[in-house]
Chains A and B, each alone.
Chain A
C-alpha cells in the first residue's frame, strides 16, 4: 500500500532557530518527491521537487534532501521566521500520495 508518513506531527520552535521535518514513504513506483507549504486557510504552495537522481534541492532557506534507497526525505528550514508557521506537506509520485503534514509554529 502506498503510504507517506511525516514526522513530527507538530513542532514549535523559536524564531531564528533551525528545524528538520521528516518524510518516509513506501510509494512505488517512484517518480518524484515534492514538499509543499500550506498556510492556514490557503492552498499548498510548492517548495521543492526532486526526482530519483537528485538528493538535495534548495529554495532559499528551505533545503530538501532525498535518500531513494532508504525512501526518506527531509526538509530543513534555516533561520526560521514567523512567516514559516504553516503546515508542510510531503507528496510522493508515481501515484501522488500525500502525507498528513507537519504543523510548524514559529514563536518570537
Chain B
C-alpha cells in the first residue's frame, strides 16, 4: 500500500532531551516536507526537501533539523526540545514539487514537551 509512515505516533518528553521523529514513504517521491499544526495557526511548514541531499527551511525552522540521506526517509530532529514545540507534526511527500502534484500526508505525530 502506498503510504507515508511516521514514528512514533505519540511522544511525551522533557525539555532538552533530543528526539527524532522518523518519516518514510514508499512511493519513490522526490519531494518531502514536515509541518506542524497548532490550533488557530493551521499547518506551517518546518522544512522541505526537493530531492536527496537537498533540504531547505520552511516558515518555522527554528529548533528543528532534518536530513535526507535516502529518498524514502526524511527524519525530523529536535536537538533540544522546548515546550513551545508541543504540537501535532505531519510529514508529507509528493512525486515532485510541481503545481499539480498531489501531496500525501502521514498520520501525524503528537508531541508533548514537558
Q: Which residues of A contact B (CB under 8 A)?
A: 4, 31-32, 34, 41-46, 49, 51, 89, 91, 93, 96, 98-101
Contact = CB atoms under 8 A, between A and B. Distances in A.
Contacts of A32: 99-100
Interface in B39-53: 40-45
Interface residues of B, number: 18
Interface SS majority for chain A: strand
B102 A42 contact: no
Given A45-B105, A49-B102, 6 more contacts: A41-B107, A41-B108, A43-B106, A44-B105, A100-B41, A101-B42
A99 B99 contact: no
Given A41-B108, A96-B45, A46 B102 contact: yes
Nearest to B39: A100
Nearest to B91: A43
